[in-house]
C-alpha cells in the first residue's frame, strides 16, 4: 500500500484551511460609540478645567464631570444589538455577533446557492437509465444509491432515498469513498473504481461521453432545468440519472422584496447553465453564475467585496462554506445545512425557511437606526448638559438626574426592538423584473 497524499492535502482539508484564513481578511467594524468615546472625554475634561479657570467655581467643574459621564452613549449600541439579536431568535434566526447586524444593514448584493436555498433541496428522480449491456437499469440504480449513501449532498440523499423506497434490498458495501467538492464522488465497489458526478468530472477523468444518444438525452433534461448525474465503472460510462428540484413557494416574492430595497440578487451554483437559468427566469434574477466549484464561488464573492460592494451569501452545503466565510455576511440553512457551512456562516436559519430573509434585512436596518438615534440623543444630551453646567444652570444633583435620564431613554428605546414584528408584506404586486439576464458558466 502506498499513500500518494496525506489527509491534509485533501479537498475538504484545503477548504477548512481557507475558511480559517478568511477570518484574517475580515476587517473589524468600529462601532459608532467607539468613534466618539475618546473625543467626548477630552471635550468634557477641557470644559471642566476651562470653566474653573474662568469662573473659579469648583461646583460648576464638578457638575460638568458628573453630567459628561457617557453611560447612555456606552449603552447605546449593546442594548440595541442585544434586543435585535433576541428578536431574530424568536423567528428562528441565530445571529453569532453584534457586528454582523451592522454588516448586514450595508449589503448591496445577496448571493443565493440554488439547491436547498431557492429550492427546497428535496430533489426527485425524473428518469434513470443504464447504457451498458453488463448492467440493467435496476443494477445501475442500486450501485449508484450504494455510493451516494455516504454523501451529504441533496442529490445523493435523493438518489439513496428513492432506491430505499422502491426496494427492500440492502445497499452494497463501498470502500474508499471520497468527495470531490463541486464535481462528484469516487469509490471502490467489488474492486472496481466507481466515479459519480457531472460532465465536468467525467471530462477531467477522460471518460468517453461522445455517444450521441447520451448527449441528446442530457441536453433534453438540461433544457427542462434538471440536474443530470453520471456513473462510470472502470473508466466506462454506465448510465445517468436525472433529478429535478422544486422552487420554494416564497422565492419569487423574496427576490422581489430584495430588489425593492435596491439590493442586487445573484445565483451562485454548481449546477449546469440550463438548470441555473431555469430557476433564474422563474424568480427574475439578473446575474447567474453556473457550473461553479467552491473556489469559484469564493473568487466571485471576493471580487464583489474588493469593489466595495458588500455581499451576503446564503447557502447550505459544503460547496458554499468558502463563499459564506469570505462574504460580508454568511447565512446558512441550519437544519439541512452541512456542519462546515453552519460553522462558516454568521447567521443560521434554524427552520431552513428563507421567507424570514426580508425581515432579517428590515430588522438589521431598524437596529442600526435605533443605535444611531440612541447615539445622537446621548451626544446631544451630554453636550447640552455640559453647556448648562458651564453656565451654572445645573448643579451636581440635577446633573446626575439628567445623566440617568439619558440611560433610561436609551434602554427603553432599544427594548422596543423586542416587540418588533414581522409584518412585511411579500405579496407586493410591483414586480421588479430583469431586462438583461447575465448567465455565466465558469470553466476554471
**Strand boundaries in 245-359, DSSP class E:** 264-268, 287-290, 311-315, 329-333, 347-349
Q: How far is CA 100 from CA 25, 300, 431, in A?
A: 15, 21, 29
Distance from C-alpha of 333 to C-alpha of 315, rounded to nearest angstrom: 7
Number of neighbours of residue 264 by Cβ within 10 angstroms:
17
Q: How far is CA 436 from CA 19, 280, 343, 375, 439, in A?
A: 34, 12, 36, 43, 9
Distance from C-alpha of 164 to C-alpha of 329, rounded to nearest angstrom: 38
Among residues 148, 254, 239, 172, the alpha carbon closest in space to that of 202 is found at 239
Q: Which three cell numbers stand for residue 73?
A: 452613549
Q: Spot the catalytic one: 9, 25, 99, 113.
A: 113
Start-to-end CA span in the chain (Å): 33
Distance from C-alpha of 381 to C-alpha of 398, rounded to nearest angstrom: 13
Q: Looking at residue 425, what DSSP letter applies?
A: -
Classify 20 as helix, strand or coil: helix
- Long-range contacts of residues 51-60, Cβ cutoff 8 Å, at least 24 apart: 51/389, 51/390, 55/392, 57/392, 59/395, 59/396, 60/389, 60/390, 60/392
Distance from C-alpha of 116 to C-alpha of 97, rounded to nearest angstrom: 25
Q: Which three cell numbers stand for residue 251?
A: 422565492
Distance from C-alpha of 90 to C-alpha of 58, rounded to nearest angstrom: 51
Look up 346 and say whether it is catalytic.
Answer: no
* Active site amino acids: 113
Amino acid at each position: 500500500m502506498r499513500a500518494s497524499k496525506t489527509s491534509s492535502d485533501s479537498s475538504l482539508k484545503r477548504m477548512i484551511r481557507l475558511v480559517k484564513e478568511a477570518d484574517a481578511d475580515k476587517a473589524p467594524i468600529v462601532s459608532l460609540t467607539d468613534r466618539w468615546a475618546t473625543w467626548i472625554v477630552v471635550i468634557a475634561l477641557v470644559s471642566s478645567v476651562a470653566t474653573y479657570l474662568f469662573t473659579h467655581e469648583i461646583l460648576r467643574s464638578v457638575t460638568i464631570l458628573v453630567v459628561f459621564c457617557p453611560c447612555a452613549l456606552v449603552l447605546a449600541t449593546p442594548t440595541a444589538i442585544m434586543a435585535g439579536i433576541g428578536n431574530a431568535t424568536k423567528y428562528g434566526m441565530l445571529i453569532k455577533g453584534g457586528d454582523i447586524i451592522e454588516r448586514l444593514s450595508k449589503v448591496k448584493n445577496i448571493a443565493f446557492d440554488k439547491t436547498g436555498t431557492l429550492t427546497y433541496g428535496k430533489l426527485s428522480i425524473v428518469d434513470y437509465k443504464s447504457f451498458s449491456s453488463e448492467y440493467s437499469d435496476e443494477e445501475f440504480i442500486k450501485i449508484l444509491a450504494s455510493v451516494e449513501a455516504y454523501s451529504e449532498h441533496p442529490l445523493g440523499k435523493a438518489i439513496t432515498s428513492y432506491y430505499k423506497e422502491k426496494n427492500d434490498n440492502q445497499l452494497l458495501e463501498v470502500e474508499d469513498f471520497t468527495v470531490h467538492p463541486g464535481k462528484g464522488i469516487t469509490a471502490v465497489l467489488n474492486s472496481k473504481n466507481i466515479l459519480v458526478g457531472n460532465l465536468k468530472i467525467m471530462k477531467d477523468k477522460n471518460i468517453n461521453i461522445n455517444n450521441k444518444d447520451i448527449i441528446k438525452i442530457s441536453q433534453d433534461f438540461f433544457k427542462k432545468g434538471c440536474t443530470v448525474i453520471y456513473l462510470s465503472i472502470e473508466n466506462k460510462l454506465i448510465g445517468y440519472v436525472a433529478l429535478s428540484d422544486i422552487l420554494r413557494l416564497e422565492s419569487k416574492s423574496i427576490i422581489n422584496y430584495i430588489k425593492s430595497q435596491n439590493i442586487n440578487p445573484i445565483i451562485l451554483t454548481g449546477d449546469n447553465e440550463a438548470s441555473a437559468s431555469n430557476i433564474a427566469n422563474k424568480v427574475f434574477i439578473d446575474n447567474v453564475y453556473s457550473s461553479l466549484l467552491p473556489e469559484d464561488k469564493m473568487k466571485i464573492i471576493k471580487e464583489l467585496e474588493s469593489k466595495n460592494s458588500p455581499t451576503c451569501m446564503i447557502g447550505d452545503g459544503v460547496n458554499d462554506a468558502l463563499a459564506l466565510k469570505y462574504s460580508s455576511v454568511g447565512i446558512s440553512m441550519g437544519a439541512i445545512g452541512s456542519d462546515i457551512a453552519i460553522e462558516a456562516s454568521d447567521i443560521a436559519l434554524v427552520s431552513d425557511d428563507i421567507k424570514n430573509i426580508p425581515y432579517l434585512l428590515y430588522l438589521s436596518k431598524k437596529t442600526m437606526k435605533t443605535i444611531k438615534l440612541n447615539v445622537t440623543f446621548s451626544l446631544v444630551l451630554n453636550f447640552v448638559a455640559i453647556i448648562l453646567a458651564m453656565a451654572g444652570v445645573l448643579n451636581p444633583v440635577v446633573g446626575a438626574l439628567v445623566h440617568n435620564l439619558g440611560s433610561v431613554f436609551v434602554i427603553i428605546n432599544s427594548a422596543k426592538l423586542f416587540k418588533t414584528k414581522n409584518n412585511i408584506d411579500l405579496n407586493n404586486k410591483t414586480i421588479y423584473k430583469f431586462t438583461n439576464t447575465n448567465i455565466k458558466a465558469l470553466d476554471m
